[in-house]
């Protein structure tokens, strides 16, 4: 029997499917055009907190999209090149973000409560259920830092 979930967030599923994967969390909106390298699935926007970080195969937890309507085309290209995220979780709904999720064809949950940016941390194992709109925190990331004793 598996352990009980650590947290459950409820939102609205906009792309169906269920995925369990490691979370990649950013508090910065993501720019598609000029902000990501579609060939590698890497954030290349110089001042972004994830600059140089690859989102391929991760549950991308972010506030939403920024920039032009080209956002969806760039994220669709990540799907076509096999470099896209495994799932998306975001709260700021814009046509570019929603269309991007749809053409990327990965399970997506929006408008979840409590706020995913307050609950989920990079490296956590999460399940995104785009059918029911539920995001489940399954396991916290293992810390690389050993605790110190006084």
Is-cis flag, bond preceding 125, omega within 30? no
Q: Which one from 68, 69, 77, 143 is the annotated catalytic residue?
A: 68
DSSP assignment letter at 96: H
Measuring CA to CA, which residue among 38, 148, 61 is closest to residue 112?
61
68 among known catalytic residues:
yes
CA distance 114 to 149: 34
Measuring CA to CA, which residue among 76, 59, 70 is closest to residue 127?
59
Is residue 124 within 8 Å of 106, Cβ to Cβ?
no
Kindly give the pairing relationship between strand 134-139 and strand 18-25: unpaired
Residues with catalytic roles? 68
């Amino acid at each position: 029997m598996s352990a009980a979930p650590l947290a459950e967030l409820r939102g609205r599923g906009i792309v169906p499917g269920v995925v369990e994967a490691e979370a990649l969390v950013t508090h910065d909106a993501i720019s598609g055009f000029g902000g990501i390298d579609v060939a590698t699935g890497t954030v290349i926007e110089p001042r972004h907190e994830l600059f140089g970080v690859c989102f391929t195969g991760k549950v991308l937890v972010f506030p939403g999209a920024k920039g032009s309507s080209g956002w969806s085309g760039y994220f669709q290209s990540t799907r076509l090149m096999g470099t896209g995220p495994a799932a998306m979780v975001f709260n700021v709904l814009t046509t570019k973000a929603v269309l991007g999720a749809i053409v990327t064809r990965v399970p997506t949950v929006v408008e979840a409560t409590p706020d995913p940016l307050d609950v989920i941390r990079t490296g956590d194992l999460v399940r995104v259920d785009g059918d029911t709109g539920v995001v489940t925190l399954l396991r916290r990331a293992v810390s690389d830092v050993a605790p110190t004793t006084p």
